[in-house]
Chains A and B, each alone.
Chain A
């Protein structure tokens, strides 16, 4: 196996050095003024407790973090086929341009006159995202997709309240939905009603009809859904929902599968949220930052979080004049840096955005075709359906026959220098691997991934223990999750760790 991850026994920052070194130089030009002030401050307000920050030289800090980065893995290193995460290549031109001081050094309270450039970028993004989703206006304020979802749920809530329909307190969500959907609905005060997926892989319309009623506020749907299957009855579903005076909400996490091919607005959706760090190539940052956007049809524009960017024919302005706004979902205007990166991305590709969808779907089905025939692997739901940008396989049979689980297979992939896909999601599939091959993956890489799965499955039948003992080529071997989570051995900071060590000795 041609993969060995760096393995440094890198001390925790507090243990890097036993000595105090000279740290980053800060001037003492105003030391006199400072001590003058501090002499008048009551002792209780002065820092009393020890500041446990190590005093390291610059070289030590740089090496420490560089070594840590070598023990990490990003899409710049190899494929990260995590379903619904759309880990695509992050173009370097986006990184470079977004780091321009004429963006990074702008203060949000500068007069709009002084920041026409960034406002123009945001305005164009609002327009472009509206066009892409078939909506009429967008707010870029939500700092991530989940925040956008929450904004969407609040819009639905306020919309019904404004019309006196306080009884509309139920949000319908498919069982296969992303966990943030019911969570966002609950945060907005809704009851969540989950509906099942039919054997063909689409949302069960009969189940939907059975719960659709006067108390329905809206339906939250991802399309293509988390199985990667397109909800072909979407227009019928929209009509049903609208017929009950409820709203259609689109979870945009899976937009990569339909970009430029079909738009949520044309499917009948009223509100959309987008994840700029997924479909629009802003990097994931090891967990964040991301950037969300919430887009709506005409009748709901007044509800958007404020401010949005407006253009009066001459200049760009921050608009707060949305009469029914749900308010702010965050301070300031949005996560500008990822917004700028996405702007560069869309500007570069333009109409070629459609190619993104076509190739990501082609790539995904190509891989799916190779994996579905493997022994121990099954493709539950809609076995004759093409998927879009992602697919879900089950290792249920492998588990029964060899004892090797989906988790074990994932760890074996790591050993081959390939990041594992999402595992154990969606919950409607047992021993699931949810795999998304974005359009930035080459055929060679996809073949490599397929071959790796093939080898792992074959090995599972021959020598399951070999799989269960992986990974061995990564920086660390399997970790003790029980110890990590147990109240007695929990260690979320260095202080906890220190105390545990003392206890052990």
Chain B
């Protein structure tokens, strides 16, 4: 079956190639496969036969017309939210030399891609206040798992304290990844008043057997962990490593975790020029604040600047490759090969567009909207933040005064407005609670509309 994507499938060319090899049938090249296992029928995939481009387009449109987007930007949160993706980012990521390239192992012909990734590493390292950031992991959840595994290897201990305020799906990922290495994941309670990590519970669980303490800020409930500095100090007091997961969008306004003493930082670029994508792909951020011990254990690719051998020009290349896929001293190391280079470049492009001023303004824009939302919800009496005294950024965990959050979400959805997820999805007892996310995409009118519709659905305060 000749096809335009398979140039040598055209009969004449095929004949010519076969002639050169002295065979009469391409199947001759498969004569070392035991006949009894050869597939003697057509693969039953696709739609019966090769399709024209216009048929595929039409088919695709039919299928995805069954996907519904809200009429105004979505207010759904839960670790990822709808943010703006600048046209420049889309344009740069459509450059075929970038997106159809492989990992830049042949440095001389890939200087542009390498430089773009070097810039990403540099921008992120400064943003997070750490010395080194690698060229990306798959996403924030796997970056977290790698960070925890790395800490366990470095400290040669198996116990890791993980705040229960971290996104539950991230904790699930930590458990699966830690299974092989025999990691012991111990959860630290959430303070029910503040929605932050319970410091006294942390203190009671910290001892010299702990490899690391892992917290997230803003956490799953949208709350900024205000005691982050104390937590890091406590962690260090017991010679454990501090791992902090931060949203890069906060770092124009809030202090960087590296500057507060974090040893390992993680994050995700979703929202920084990368769309929702129904959950993937994005890129995981992983950084370290030490270039000796931690560097040796840092998984993933790393780009470094160097000179050409002739000595006169600056160039870039992948460095320290013996860390990769190399089974080193300790039990488990990383197997990562493919990462999320393209998304990392996208994030770098967005940062370059925003500049220091723009990133600060973006953070403030989101922060301002978060608090406007809280004010309006409270004044309309439709919902209240779960943790009224706490500082929220981007996402707010709210309680709908005894109403089933799932129902509320459904009603809003039927009116073209998306909020959620219901917290009962993760915490069964919180059935009247939900997350609401607000970003730079939401206008004052959008937020007012949300509140109005909530009033309607909930029958007023």
Contacts and interface: CB of A to CB of B under 8 A. Distances in A.
Query: Does chain A touch chain B in the assembled complex, meaning CB atoms less than 8 Å apart?
Result: yes
Given A33-B371, A117-B65, A474-B111, 8 more contacts: A24-B358, A40-B391, A51-B127, A93-B56, A262-B38, A326-B176, A359-B8, A490-B304
A459 interface: no
B19 to A, nearest CB: 10
Nearest to B52: A348
Contacts of B36: 235
A186 interface: yes
Nearest to B133: A493
Contacts of B335: 146, 149-150, 180, 183-184, 186-187
A405 B404 CA distance: 69
Interface stretch (A102-110, A206-214, A371-379): A102-110
Nearest to A344: B56
A222 interface: no
Contacts of A35: 364
Interface stretch (A241-249, A293-301, A349-357, A395-403): A349-357
Contacts of B110: 71-73
Contacts of B413: 110-111, 114
Interface in A1-49: 5, 10, 12-14, 20-21, 23-38, 40-42, 44-49
B290 interface: no
Nearest to B419: A109
Contacts of A106: 67, 69, 276-278
Interface size class of B (residues with CB under 8 A): 35 or more
Interface residues of A, number: 205
B139 A331 contact: yes
A477 B309 contact: yes
Given A289-B281, A352-B50, A475-B109, A33 B372 contact: yes
Contact of B88 (A62, A327, A355, A442): A62
Interface string B292-312: 000000000111111111110
A53 B131 contact: no
B173 A30 contact: no
B337 A477 contact: no
B402 interface: no
A73 B109 contact: yes
B99 A286 contact: yes
A59 B350 CA distance: 13
Interface string B4-30: 011111000110111011000011111
A289 B6 contact: no
Contacts of A475: 108-109, 111-112
Contacts of B121: 492-493
A32 B369 CA distance: 10
A58 B88 contact: yes
Nearest to A108: B279
Nearest to A414: B109
A65 B353 contact: no
Nearest to A420: B106
Interface string A470-505: 010011111111011100011111111100000000
Contacts of B456: none
A54 B353 CA distance: 9
A49 B103 contact: no
Nearest to B181: A189
Given A262-B38, A349-B50, A34 B67 contact: no
B111 to A, nearest CB: 4
Question: Which of A44, A105, A230, A385 counts the most B-chain CB atoms under 10 A from its CB?
Answer: A105
A114 B26 contact: no
A493 B108 contact: no
Contacts of B30: 230, 258, 261-262, 361, 386, 388
B342 interface: yes
